[in-house]
C-alpha cells in the first residue's frame, strides 16, 4: 500500500494559483439536520401523491398504535377520524388504548426523527426506523404551520395533553400548551392537520387500508369515521392476544464483516469465543471449535480488540461451518383459525380456505413464514362496474304494436365482482407498487384454470398473503413491495397451490351437486308421463307405479354417490398441478 | 378548536391497567444518527446493484471535482483510476486540480453526512444535499473496514495527507495518519476501497458514464484508467471556463407558506415589505402595493413576527399578483458551439446539429433551459452486435467441384450502429431509469421517418439532451429521471424537431448527390457508345464529339443544380412536421 501511496504522489501536480481560493468557497459551509433533509425529500417517506400521502399518514399512525398495543400485550381498540376542514385540508385523529408514552419521552418519541426503540433490534414489528410518526408531524407542520396535539396516559394514572412541533433546523421537539387532564386515560391520542392531501375512495384509499388492516389483525377493533361522518367499525373476531414477538439474535449466516466488528464493540463477553456464542443464534461450542481451526489468531482474545481482518476471517470461517437453521420461535403468524375467522367476518365469502406454512429460511440467515387465504364467492373480490354496451348511434326507435315509440330505459353500468390480491408484510397491508411485488408475481404465476377458475381476473376471489419475518426483503426504501427471493417465491407458490386445490375440489363438488339436481329435475318432469304411458299399456295402478319409480330414481342417485365415494367414475375437471419446484 | 378538544376528551377512556407498563417498554428508547440510517438504507443513495453502485461511486466523486473546479473558475483536469484488488473488491482513486479543501474543513466536508455548501441555495450545480462523497466513504468502510485516503492542497501551499472514516453512531469524522507532504499540490485526491461492486463494460458502465460526462463538459480533461490498465483520455476541446452559475433568489410563484415563514426568520429586513423585495426575485414596489391591498395586516410589521396565517395571506395574494417571469441569467448552458465541438471530438459523427433553446419557465416559478444535439453517421450511435442467422440443423454439407466437402467458416455476429439517447441534468449524465424519463419519452414521441430516418432505433444517431435548471424536477430521490413537466416536454420537443429537420435536409441532400453521381456514371458509361455510333453514321471526329458530349452533360447537371437553387422541382421526402403543441 505504501507503494500505492508513492505512485499517487507522483501524480500530484502543482496546479498553480488560478481560481478562487478554497477558504472563500467554504465560508458558506453548513451542517444540516436530518429533519431538514426529509423536509426536502418527503417522497422518501412515501409522502407524495395526494391520496397516497393521506393513506401513508393513516398507515404510520395506525401501525404505531398496533405495535404499541402488541408489545404491551393489550387487545387494540383504535379509532381513526378524518375531518375535512377546507380545500385539500384535513384533520386526522387516531386514539388507541395502548400503553401510552411516558411523559418525559413524548418529545423525543414523536418530535425527533430517527429516534425509537426498534432501530437496532431484529424483531418482527411493523415499524422499524423511528421516522414514521415524527415524519408525519413534520409534514403536518410544513403544510399547515400547526403543531400536533398529543394526549398520553400511562399506568401511572396521569393524563398529559400537549402540542408538539419539530424544529427542523436541529431535529428537536418543541412542546407547548402542556397541561394535565382530569379525565383518566390509558393510551395515546394524536390529532394533526394536513394540507396537500385528498380523501378519495378506491383501491389505494384509507378505507381499503383499514379494511385490510382489520383482516390481518383479527384481535383488533378498528373504528373509522370518514369526512362524511360515515362510520365503519371492524369488531375483533378473536379475543386472544397474539404472542408477543421476541427479539432474535442474528443467525451467523447473514452476518457481514461490518456487523461482526460493530457488535463486538458492545459485547459484555471477554473472549471472542464467548462473544460469538452469546451474540449469534445457533452458535455453539462445536461451531466455535470449527471456526477456531480455520482462523489465524487466538479465539480467546478480547472481542473489543477484534480487527477488521480478523472479523473477515471469522465470517469466512462461518461459511465453512455447519449451523442449524435459524430459530423460528420468534415468528408470530396470525394463524389459520384466526385468518379464517377474520376473512369470514370481514369478507363474508361463500367459501374460504387458509394455510399457514411452516417457517422457512431465505438467504441462509433470515427466518420467514407465509400465510395465505383464499376467499371465494359471496362478498369476496372487489366490485367493479362495467359500462353497458353503447347503442348504435342511428338505431331506429322501437315502436309498440300501435306504432307508439317505446322509450327504453338507459342500460345502467353493471357491477360485477373481480378478484383482488391483498398483500401483507408482518401483518401491515401493502397497497402500492403491486406490479413489482413477489406476492403479485406468484399469484399471477398460478394457472387458475387447473383449479376450476376459468378467468381468475373476473372471479369473485380474495387472495390473502401475509409474509412475516424479522427482516422483510423490500425492493426499496418505500417499503411497498417484496423482492424476488427464491425461497419466498417457492413457499408462497406452494401455499397458494394448496388453497387453490382445495377450492378446485369445492368448485367441482358444487358442479356435481348442480348436475345431480338437474338429473332429479329431469326424472321428476318425465316420471308422470312414463307412469301415464305404463298405466295405459299395462293397466297397472298409477299411484303404485309412481311410488316405485320415485324409489328407483332415489336408489340410482344414491348408487352414484356410493360409487363416487369408492373413487369410481370420478372425473375431475382439473389435472393435479405439479409441485412448484418442477414448474420453475 | 376548543370544541374539537372537548369532543376528543369525551372519547378518552380509562382503559385499565392491563398490559406491560410504558416505562418498561421505553427503556430501550434510543436516538440514531443519519449515518446509521443511510447505512441501513444504502439504496436511497443509489448504492444497489454491483455495477450501478460502482458507477454511482464514480459519479459522486467526479461530480464533486467538477463542481469544485467550476465554482473556483478552474479548467478541470480529472484523473479516475479503478484497480481490481480481489474478487468484487476494487480501489477507486480520483485526483482533481480543483481549489482543494481547507485543512480544518476536510473532516466535516467528507466525514459527515448532510454537511456542505449547497443545501439551502438555489444554484445550478450537480450536487445538492451534502451526502454524495461522505456516503461513498461510509460505503467503503462498511464493505472493507478501511478508511479513505485524502490529499488536499489549497492555494496556501501546504499539502495535507490523511485518512478519514465516519463514526456512524455520531455521524462524525475520524481522522488518522495526518501528515504534510513536501510535494506542492493544489487540488483534491481521494482514494478508497470497496467490496460488493463489479466492473463491467456496457451502457451502465463507468466508461459510458465518463464518456458522457466528457461530452457535456468540453472544458474538462478526463483521464480514466480501467482495471485492465487501459487508459482512455478525453482532452478538453474548449479552453474557455463556463460562466460560474450564480445563486438565484426564489421566484414568488414557487414559494410555499412554510418557506415564506422560514425565510422571514433569517432576513435582515425590518419590514415585511422590504423582506419580500430583498428575498424574492422580481418582487418590486408594484407587487408589494398589490399584495398590501389583499392582506389584512400591516405590511410594515417586523418579518420575524410574521405568523403562519399572515404568510398564508401573502402566498394567496402572490397568486393574484402579476410578476415578471423568473430571472434566467443564472442559467449557464454549455452552448451550441461547445456542444458541437464536443460531439465532433468525442462522438466523431459524419454530421452534427445542435440547438440551445432560450430559457423558459415551468410551474410558474422555475427557470430552465434545454439544449439538444443530434450527431449522425460516422461513429455516432452505439455498436450493437447482431447474431448471424442460425443454419438449418440438417443442411447438407456443401461440396466443391471435386466432391470435396467445403468447410464453411462460422458466420460471425455482425456489429451495427444503433441509436442512443444521452440524457443530462445540469450537465451530469443520467444513466439509469431511462424509461420513466421525460427526455426519453420526448425522443420516442418524434416521428423520425418525417425527417428521412426510416428506422430510428437502428440508425447511427446520438441524441444529446441537457436540461439545466436551479431546480431539476426529478421523479424520485434517486435523481435518475426527469418528471413530465409540460413546459419541459414542449421545449425539448421543439428543440429536437429543429435539429431533426436540419438532419432531414442533410439526408435529402446526400440522396440527391448520390443520384447525381449515378447519372454521371450512366452518362460516362454510355457516352463512348454514343460517340462510336455517331462516328459510324456521320463520320465526324470522335474526339471532338466526345468533348462536346461531356460539356453537354456537365451543363445539363449544372442546370439541374440551378433549377434546384431556384426552388423548382424540389421533392422533399418529408413533409414539414406540425409544431409540438398541435400534436399534443
Q: Is B183 on the interface with A (CB under 8 A)?
A: yes
CA distances to A184, B100, B208, B305, B374 from B214, rounded to whole Å, are 69, 22, 10, 50, 16
Note the pLDDT of residue B581: 42
Q: Which of B202, B74, B222, B44 is nearest to B138 (CA)?
A: B44
The residues, any chain, with a CB within 8 Å of residue A583's CB and separated by 6 or more, are: A445, A493, A577
B261 contacts in chain A (CB < 8 Å): 145
The pLDDT tens digits of the residues spanning B130-183 come to 678 999 999 999 999 999 999 999 988 789 999 999 998 888 999 999 999 998
Quote the CA–CA distance of B152 and B143 in Å, as a whole number: 25
Q: What are phi and psi of A555, to 5 degrees?
A: -65, -40
The residues, any chain, with a CB within 8 Å of residue A410's CB and separated by 6 or more, are: A388
Note the pLDDT of residue B130: 64
Are B77 and B221 in contact, with CB atoms under 8 Å apart? yes
Note the pLDDT of residue B160: 95
Are B266 and B294 in contact, with CB atoms under 8 Å apart? no
The pLDDT tens digits of the residues spanning A260-273 come to 998 898 889 999 99
Note the pLDDT of residue B572: 42
B124 against B262, higher pLDDT: B262
Q: Is B311 on the interface with A (CB under 8 A)?
A: yes
Note the pLDDT of residue B175: 96
Look-up: residue for cell 394514572? A157
Helices (H), A220-379: 257-266, 272-279, 285-294, 308-319, 336-346
Quote the CA–CA distance of B158 and B156 in Å, as a whole number: 6
Task: Work out the pLDDT band at A573, boundaries 50, 70, 90.
Answer: very low
Quote the CA–CA distance of B504 and B351 in Å, as a whole number: 11
Are A273 and A286 in contact, with CB atoms under 8 Å apart? no
Note the pLDDT of residue B452: 87
Are B197 and B177 in contact, with CB atoms under 8 Å apart? no
Note the pLDDT of residue A574: 41
Interface of B with A in 203-262 (CB under 8 A): 256-258, 261
The pLDDT tens digits of the residues spanning A507-536 come to 888 888 888 888 778 777 777 777 777 777
Are the beta carbons of A33 and B101 separated by less than 8 Å? no
Shortest alpha-carbon distance between residue A270 and chain B (Å) = 22
Quote the CA–CA distance of B111 and B117 in Å, as a whole number: 14
* Mean pLDDT within B473-491: 86
Are A405 and A397 in contact, with CB atoms under 8 Å apart? yes
Quote the CA–CA distance of A111 and A171 in Å, as a whole number: 8
Q: What are phi and psi of B353, to 5 degrees?
A: -125, 135
Nine-digit cell string for A49: 401523491
Note the pLDDT of residue B582: 37
Nearest CA in chain A to B306: A145
Nine-digit cell string for B322: 402579476
Rounded to the nearest 10 degrees, the angle between the axes of helix A336-346 and helix A206-216 is: 140
A185 contacts in chain B (CB < 8 Å): 12-15
Residue of B6, B9, B17, B22 to mutate, interface with A, max A Cβ within 10 Å: B22
* Mean pLDDT within A346-374: 92
Quote the CA–CA distance of B436 and B484 in Å, as a whole number: 9
Q: Is B26 on the interface with A (CB under 8 A)?
A: yes
Note the pLDDT of residue B122: 56
Average pLDDT value over all residues in chain A: 86
Helices (H), B254-370: 257-266, 272-279, 285-294, 308-319, 336-346
Quote the CA–CA distance of A308 and A379 in Å, as a whole number: 59
Task: Work out the pLDDT band at B409, boundaries 50, 70, 90.
Answer: low
Are B239 and B345 in contact, with CB atoms under 8 Å apart? no
Task: Work out the pLDDT band at B570, boundaries 50, 70, 90.
Answer: very low
The pLDDT tens digits of the residues spanning A286-305 come to 999 999 999 999 999 999 99
Q: What is the SS3 string spanning B222-269? A: EEEECCCCCEEEECCCCCCCCCCCCCCCCCHHHCCHHHHHHHHHHCCC
A255-259, A343-347, A434-438, B544-548: least confident range: B544-548
Are the beta carbons of B29 and A77 separated by less than 8 Å? no
A330-334, B111-115, B555-559: least confident range: B555-559
The pLDDT tens digits of the residues spanning A51-68 come to 999 999 999 999 999 988
Task: Work out the pLDDT band at A343, boundaries 50, 70, 90.
Answer: very high
Q: What are phi and psi of A552, to 5 degrees?
A: -60, -45
Are A242 and A370 in contact, with CB atoms under 8 Å apart? no
Rounded to the nearest 10 degrees, the angle between the axes of helix B308-319 and helix B257-266 is: 120
Residue A311 has pLDDT above 50, yes or no: yes
Residue of B26, B47, B192, B262 to mutate, interface with A, max A Cβ within 10 Å: B26
Are the beta carbons of A185 and B142 separated by less than 8 Å? no
Beta carbon pairs, A and B, within 8 Å:
255
Strand A221-225 vs strand A77-86: parallel, antiparallel, or unpaired? Answer: parallel
The pLDDT tens digits of the residues spanning B362-388 come to 887 888 999 999 999 999 999 887 776
The residues, any chain, with a CB within 8 Å of residue A422's CB and separated by 6 or more, are: A212, A215, A429, A462, A463, A464, A465
Segment holding A520, helix H or strand E: helix A486-538
A229 against B329, higher pLDDT: A229
A350-354, A549-553, B125-129, B574-578: least confident range: B574-578
Are the beta carbons of A187 and B102 separated by less than 8 Å? no
Note the pLDDT of residue A395: 64
Residue A571 has pLDDT above 50, yes or no: no
Residue B559 has pLDDT above 50, yes or no: yes
Note the pLDDT of residue A576: 42
Are A161 and A180 in contact, with CB atoms under 8 Å apart? yes
Are A378 and A460 in contact, with CB atoms under 8 Å apart? yes
B390 against A502, higher pLDDT: A502
B189 contacts in chain A (CB < 8 Å): 8, 11-12
DSSP letter at A416 equals E
Q: Which of A221, A225, A223 is nearest to A237 (CA)?
A: A221
Q: Which of A517, A509, A519, A503 is nearest to A572 (CA)?
A: A509
Q: Look at chain B and count its residues.
A: 584
Nine-digit cell string for B574: 418529408
DSSP letter at A157 equals S
Residue B59 has pLDDT above 90, yes or no: yes
Are the beta carbons of A145 and B311 separated by less than 8 Å? yes
Amino acid at each position: 500500500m505504501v507503494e500505492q501511496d508513492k505512485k499517487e504522489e507522483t501524480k500530484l501536480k502543482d496546479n498553480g494559483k488560478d481560481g478562487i481560493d478554497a477558504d472563500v468557497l467554504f465560508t458558506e459551509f453548513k451542517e444540516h439536520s436530518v429533519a431538514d433533509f426529509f423536509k426536502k425529500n418527503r417522497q422518501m417517506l412515501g409522502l407524495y401523491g395526494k391520496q397516497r400521502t393521506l393513506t401513508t399518514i393513516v398507515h404510520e399512525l395506525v401501525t404505531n398504535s398496533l405495535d404499541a398495543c402488541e408489545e404491551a400485550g393489550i387487545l387494540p381498540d383504535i379509532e381513526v377520524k378524518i375531518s375535512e376542514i377546507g380545500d385539500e385540508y384535513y384533520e386526522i385523529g387516531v386514539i388507541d388504548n395502548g400503553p401510552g408514552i411516558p411523559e418525559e419521552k413524548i418529545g423525543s418519541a414523536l418530535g425527533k426523527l430517527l429516534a425509537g426503540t426498534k432501530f437496532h433490534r431484529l424483531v418482527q414489528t411493523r415499524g422499524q426506523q423511528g421516522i414514521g410518526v415524527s415524519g408525519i408531524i413534520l409534514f403536518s407542520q410544513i403544510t399547515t404551520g400547526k403543531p400536533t396535539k398529543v394526549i398520553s396516559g400511562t399506568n401511572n394514572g396521569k393524563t398529559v395533553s400537549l402540542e408538539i412541533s419539530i424544529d427542523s433546523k436541529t431535529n428537536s421537539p418543541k412542546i407547548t400548551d402542556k397541561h394535565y387532564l382530569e379525565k383518566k386515560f390509558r393510551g395515546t391520542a394524536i390529532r394533526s392537520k394536513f394540507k396537500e392531501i385528498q380523501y378519495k375512495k378506491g383501491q389505494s384509499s384509507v378505507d381499503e387500508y383499514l379494511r385490510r388492516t382489520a383482516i390481518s389483525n383479527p384481535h383488533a377493533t378498528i373504528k373509522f369515521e370518514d369526512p362524511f361522518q360515515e362510520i365503519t367499525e371492524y369488531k375483533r373476531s378473536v379475543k386472544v392476544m397474539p404472542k408477543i414477538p421476541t427479539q432474535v439474535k442474528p443467525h451467523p449466516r447473514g452476518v457481514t464483516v461490518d456487523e461482526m466488528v460493530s457488535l463486538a464493540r458492545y459485547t459484555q463477553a471477554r473472549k471472542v469465543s464467548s462473544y460469538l456464542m452469546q451474540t449469534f443464534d445457533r452458535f455453539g461450542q462445536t461451531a466455535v471449535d470449527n471456526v477456531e481451526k480455520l482462523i489465524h489468531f487466538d479465539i480467546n482474545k478480547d472481542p473489543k480488540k477484534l480487527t477488521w481482518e480478523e472479523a473477515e476471517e471469522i465470517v469466512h470461517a462461518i461459511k465453512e461451518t455447519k449451523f442449524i437453521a435459524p430459530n423460528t420461535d420468534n415468528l408470530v403468524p396470525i394463524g389459520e383459525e384466526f385468518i379464517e375467522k377474520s376473512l369470514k367476518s370481514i369478507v363474508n365469502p361463500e367459501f374460504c380456505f387458509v394455510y399457514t406454512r411452516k417457517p422457512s429460511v431465505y438467504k441462509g440467515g433470515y427466518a420467514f413464514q407465509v400465510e395465505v387465504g383464499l376467499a371465494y364467492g359471496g362478498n369476496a373480490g372487489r366490485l367493479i362496474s362495467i359500462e353497458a354496451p353503447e347503442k348504435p348511434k342511428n338505431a331506429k326507435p322501437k315502436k309498440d304494436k300501435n306504432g307508439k315509440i317505446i322509450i327504453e330505459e338507459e342500460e345502467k353500468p353493471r357491477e360485477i365482482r373481480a378478484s383482488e390480491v391483498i398483500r401483507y408484510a408482518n401483518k401491515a397491508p401493502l397497497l402500492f407498487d403491486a406490479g413489482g411485488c413477489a406476492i403479485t408475481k406468484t399469484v399471477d404465476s398460478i394457472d387458475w384454470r387447473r383449479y376450476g377458475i376459468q378467468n381468475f381476473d373476473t372471479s369473485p376471489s380474495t387472495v390473502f398473503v401475509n409474509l412475516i419475518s424479522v427482516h422483510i426483503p423490500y425492493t426499496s426504501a418505500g417499503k411497498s413491495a417484496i423482492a424476488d427471493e427464491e425461497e419466498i417465491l417457492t413457499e408462497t407458490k406452494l401455499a397458494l397451490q394448496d388453497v387453490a386445490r382445495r377450492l378446485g375440489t369445492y368448485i367441482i363438488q358444487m358442479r356435481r351437486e348442480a348436475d345431480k339436481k338437474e338429473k332429479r329435475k329431469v326424472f321428476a318432469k318425465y316420471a308422470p308421463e312414463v307412469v301415464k304411458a305404463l298405466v295405459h299399456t299395462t293397466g297397472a295402478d298409477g299411484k303404485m307405479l309412481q311410488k316405485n319409480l320415485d324409489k328407483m330414481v332415489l336408489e340410482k342417485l344414491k348408487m352414484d354417490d356410493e360409487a363416487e365415494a369408492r373413487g369410481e367414475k370420478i372425473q375431475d375437471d382439473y389435472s393435479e398441478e405439479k409441485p412448484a419446484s418442477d414448474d420453475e
